[in-house]
Amino acid sequence: MIVDTTPDHLIRVDPVLLCTHIWARGFRLPWRGLLIGMAVLALVVARAAHAQTAPRPRAEIVRVEQFTLQNQQIDYPGARVRTTDGAVPDSPGSQQIRVHWHALPPGIPPGAVLMLEVIHDRNPVIQNKILPYRTVSIGDIHSTVVFTARDIQQSGYVNAWRASVAWRGRILARTHSPTWTTASLP
């Protein structure tokens, strides 16, 4: 039965039986177009409402600092021990690049990455360093990428860099050093 009356005289319509009945009787073309149009309109409205409620992740890179750390000899008094901080005593030291960035509210869902692209003095090929973030990123975030003495001996010091914060393949923020130009790229 398509229409059912309840004891309190309310009319209930079973939508499944109604649709089956309509299709079995061969609905006319204008009504089909109207039904399809209403269904498409309902989907468009529902999708637009979802797109407005889902905030987009945003980030900004505040600053990037580049440090060169020289090897140091440390004397331990009374122990007659002298140690060298670094992999090789005659190496030039290590280099650090610190990226300070801010994930704007409501934050970035898990899966964000910090990509640091660098060009070294003696190696003109762009090298990528990727730092993934497996938890929600929100607020001030400080990331450090270290190039060891062995890296510097092989490729030289970092000449140019470009830092990017990305999420799901979309770049949220990007900055670069003054020496990062198209002329410095291979």
Domain ranges of the chain: 3-53, 58-176
User: Lowest mean pLDDT: which of 36-40, 116-120, 133-137?
Assistant: 36-40
What is the reported pTM?
A: 0.61
**Nearby residues of 164 by Cβ (< 8 Å), 6 or more positions away:** 114, 115, 116, 117, 171, 173, 174
With CA atoms as reference, report the closest residue to 66 among 178, 184, 185: 178
Alpha carbons 137 and 59: distance in angstroms, whole number: 10
Label residue 87 by pLDDT band (50, 70, 90): very low
**pLDDT for residue 11 is more than 70:** no
CATH class of the domain comprising 58-176: mainly beta
Residue-averaged pLDDT of the chain: 76
**pLDDT for residue 13 is more than 70:** no
User: Lowest mean pLDDT: which of 3-12, 41-50, 108-117?
Assistant: 3-12
Quote the pLDDT of residue 27: 53
